[in-house]
Structure 1
Amino acid sequence: MTRRPEDKPSRALRGRAGRMKGGRGSGRASTGAVRLWGRHAVEAALLNPERNHRKLWATQEGVASLDGDLPANFPVEYASAADLGRLVARDAPHQGLVLDCDALEAVFIEDVLSGEPDRPLLVLDQVTDPHNVGAILRSAAAFGAAAIITQDRHAPPESGTLAKSASGALETVPWIRVVNLARAMELIAEAGYWRIGLDGKGTATLAEALPAGPVALVLGAEGEGMRHNITQHCDAIARLPITSAIESLNVSNAAAIALYAIATRS
């Protein structure tokens, strides 16, 4: 299936405007409670008006590290660093801040596709490691990606580990979960995006495959790579020009390099 390419919290911890609201995406909405930790992840969640915050567990030093004041009557329970350590994963670097909140609501893929086509999309095919997805979210925020898109069943849930790796980007980059990733890629094509799958066996380099218009970058899981059906839904398969000294790159490193290439294309 091919197509032609087209040539700081306020002084009162306010939220970030502009994230799409409400409704369910093509996949299920995130539900339930989430526990976040670490200064960047917690502070970004406190900034996000679309987060329903339940309770902040903190040390005095942790609260003092926040770039702004907590709202009046915000539910805070002060505790020692050792006590906070019992609330999170073993040896997790909580930095004196642990936040209980609700998961973010899902968003519609159509909302992103009708948005800013000059910003790339990231499609992740069965990338399940929360550290990798978090790092990809961080790179997506750094290079202005419009969203990441994953299949609902084969992606990690929101978690403290993922949010810590994302360093706040979980709150600012829309994450769309879909039931059928191939169908989502069809919608992406219909919206005018050129879908480039990254694979070390690609005959063209990413620079050679990049069009002038909207781009959706597709990355598969480490080891297995993209599934055959997802590869068939790409308009081009490209590789990063790495040397023979190493077989492949971590998927989050590959995403960062590819996003940089898209951001700096001429």
Structure 2
Amino acid sequence: MAGNSKRRGAVRKDGTKKGAVVGSGGQRRRGLEGKGPTPRATERKGHPAARRAAAKDRVAGQRGPGRRASDGEGPETVLGRNPVVECLRAGVPAMSLRVAVGATSDERVAEAVHLAADMGLPILEVERKELDRIAGGALHQGVALQIPPYEYAHPDELLEAASDSGNPALIVALDGVTDPRNLGAVVRSVGAFGGHGVVVPQRRSAGMTAVAWRTSAGTAARLPVARATNLTRTLREYAQTGLMVAGLDADGDVSLDEFDLATDPLVVVAGSEGKGLSRLVRETCDVIVSIPMAGRVESLNASVAAGVVLAEVARRRRLSS
């Protein structure tokens, strides 16, 4: 009834009285103190950035000490029966081979498994839906090969390789070549004609992908490919060490037949497939060389032009030795 202070709920329990209450007396001060700056994402356990960093460290551990991997690039996945077999035949370094359950009945997939086993690669049998996820909608034909990032050399390492060989330096620099098949073909030609390496710019250029590896026919495993942050600056540094910088262009000032510096330390610079040499690179070259052609062909692509010049340089060096 009204005014009955003894009824249920009418009496306030001890410690629930509104108004002034007893303070904490500083007992919770420690809990209110800051815990310092927030750790970086790579240092937080379970954070995606931390997992990526850990995976990168594992890949670096598999590569061992030596040249560094390319900045900003991750492992590459090669899909399809023929591409995977071609990569394994060419000796492209790989991390693992994934094969869909039941796919080994195909002769090409079986060959890929045998090649991977001979190389000592981990072979993982997975469900097709797992390959579908890795392929992201691309055709995988039941097989996928994971390749680590290519380990680019420093441009100075090419000079060291030339010095160790005892022969005049012979280097090819590519200015804006974006087709990895051209890059792979140039690597193969440089190796065939006694060159010491290839330099590519860090931006707007083809990298050593699986396609470039395949086109090099295994030469990329023996020949260093360097990546220059600034190709123009690298060419100037090469020139300061005594190398002749010769650009290739159909409208060159000197014909290859008249080019008499082939026996000296040399950097051959080939331009992109469409635009040729960029303005700054062209201005950096000591000489612009053209390749005489008998047919009605306006120009050659970068890999063919570099191969022709390298063959001529190698011929003259043999004659002079």
Shift of 1:29: 3.5
Give the equivalent residue in structure 1 for 2:88: 42
- Partner residue, 1:105: 151
Distance 2:85 2:73 in 1: 23
* CA–CA distance in structure 2, aligned partners of residues 125 and 247 of structure 1: 19
Q: 2:209 aligns with which of 141, 156, 159?
A: 159
Q: Is residue 56 from structure 1 mapped to residue 107 from structure 2 by the alignment?
A: no
Q: Does 1:262 align with 2:262?
A: no
Q: CA deviation at 1:148?
A: 0.9
Question: Per chain length, whose mean CA-contact separation is higher, i.e. which structure has more relative contact order (CA < 8 Å, sep 6+)?
Answer: 1
How do residues 139-178 of structure 1 correspond to structure 2 at under 5 angstroms?
Answer: 139-178=189-228
The C-alpha deviation readout for 1:161-214, integer Å capped at 9, x for no partner, is 222222223322211111111110011112221111111111322242241211
Larger Rg: 2
CA 214–252 in structure 1, closer or farther in 2 if over 3 Å, else same? same
Aligned partner of 1:187 in structure 2 is 237
Local SS of the residue matching 2:195: coil
Aligned twin of 1:233: 284
Tell me, in whole angstroms, the C-alpha distance in 2 between the residues paired with 1:141 and 1:258: 13
Number of corresponding residues: 232
Alignment correspondent of 1:121: 171
1:77 corresponds to which residue?
A: 124
Deviates more, 1:138-147 or 1:97-106: 97-106
Give the Cα separation in 1 of the matches to 2:138 and 2:188.
23
Where in structure 2 are the equivalents of 1:13-52 lying within 5 Å? 21-23=66-68, 29=71, 31-36=73-78, 37-45=83-91
Q: Does the 8 Å CA contact 2:97/2:116 hold for their aligned counterparts?
A: no
Q: Tell me, what secondary structure is at the counterpart of 2:293?
A: coil
Tell me which amino acid in the other structure corresponds to 2:87. Answer: A
Contact 2:171 2:198 in 1 (8 A): yes
| Higher mean displacement: 119-128 or 36-45 | 36-45
Tell me the secondary structure at the aligned position of residue 66 of structure 2: coil
Change (3 A) 1:104 1:161: closer
Percent of pairs identical after alignment? 27
Pair 1:141–1:63, CA change in 2 (3 A)? farther
Q: Which amino acid counterpart does residue 144 of structure 1 have in structure 2?
A: G
Q: Flag the 1:190–1:32 CA change in 2: closer, same or farther, 3 A.
A: same
Q: Call closer, same or farther: CA 1:195–1:252 in 2, change over 3 Å.
A: same
Aligned to 1:3: none
Aligned match of 1:201: 251
- Aligned-residue Cα RMSD (Å) equals 3.2
Residues 238, 88 of structure 1: alpha-carbon distance in 2 compared, 3 angstrom cutoff? farther
How far the C-alpha of 1:225 sits from its partner, in A, is: 0.9
Relative to structure 1, the CA distance from residue 91 to residue 225 in structure 2 (aligned partners, 3 Å threshold; closer, same or farther) is farther
The letter of the residue matching 1:21 is G
Q: Which moved more, 1:153-162 or 1:255-264?
A: 153-162
CA distance in 1, matches of 2:217, 2:223: 12
Q: CA deviation at 1:89?
A: 10
In 2, the alpha carbon distance for the partners of 1:213 and 1:70 equals 40
SS of residue in 1 equivalent to 2:168: coil
The residue type paired with residue 42 of structure 1 is L
| Equivalent residues of 2:246, 2:267 under 8 A apart | yes
Q: Closer, same or farther in 2 for the Cα pair 1:70/1:228, shift >3 Å?
A: closer
Code of the residue aligned with 1:261 in structure 2: it is E
Rounded Cα–Cα distance in structure 1 between residues aligned with 2:251 and 2:212? 29
The answer as to whether partners of 2:154 and 2:228 remain within 8 angstroms in 1 is no
**Gaps spanning 5+ residues in structure 2: where?**
1-64, 100-108
| Structure 2 CA distance for partners of 1:247 and 1:90, relative to 1, 3 Å | farther
